[in-house]
Amino acid sequence: MAYFLLEIIIAVSLAFLVYLISLTLPRISEEEIADLKSKRNQKLIYFIEKSDIFLKTIIEKFLRKSKIWLLSLNNFIEDKLSKFKKESNKIEVPTEDKKDENL
């Protein structure tokens, strides 16, 4: 029951915050918003474009190196498996006839 009351209190407080924010929003004019967006957007868009290019190059390099590493790991594993297969073919499992001959 205590958790339910806490959840109700949190929901009411969030609703009150949304109400207060909605009261303050009309005070800002559309022209002020447009001015702020144009100034901020130019710098923000430039930063985002530069960071996007930078991240793409880093991710591309990482993916290429990981591909090479995985292919070399694949080759190593296949070599080991082929060696194990060759060794297992060389080892003869003694049958009952051969056991009797040795006695």
For the stretch 25-80, pLDDT in tens is: 767 677 776 776 777 677 777 888 889 899 999 999 999 999 999 999 999 999 99
Residue 52's domain comprises 34-89
Cα(35)–Cα(51) distance, rounded to whole angstroms? 24
Position 82 confidence tier, pLDDT thresholds 50, 70, 90:
very high
- Give me the number of domains the chain comprises: 1
Whether 23 is covered by a domain: the verdict is no
Position 101 confidence tier, pLDDT thresholds 50, 70, 90:
low
Whether 6 is covered by a domain: the verdict is no
Whether 58 is covered by a domain: the verdict is yes
Whether 71 is covered by a domain: the verdict is yes
Cα(41)–Cα(12) distance, rounded to whole angstroms? 35
- For 6-90, strand residue ranges (E) read none
Task: Give me the pLDDT at residue 85, please.
Answer: 87
pLDDT mean over 11-30: 82
Whether 63 is covered by a domain: the verdict is yes
- The model carries a pTM of 0.43
Whether 67 is covered by a domain: the verdict is yes
Tokens of 28: 């800002």
Whether 19 is covered by a domain: the verdict is no
Whether 40 is covered by a domain: the verdict is yes
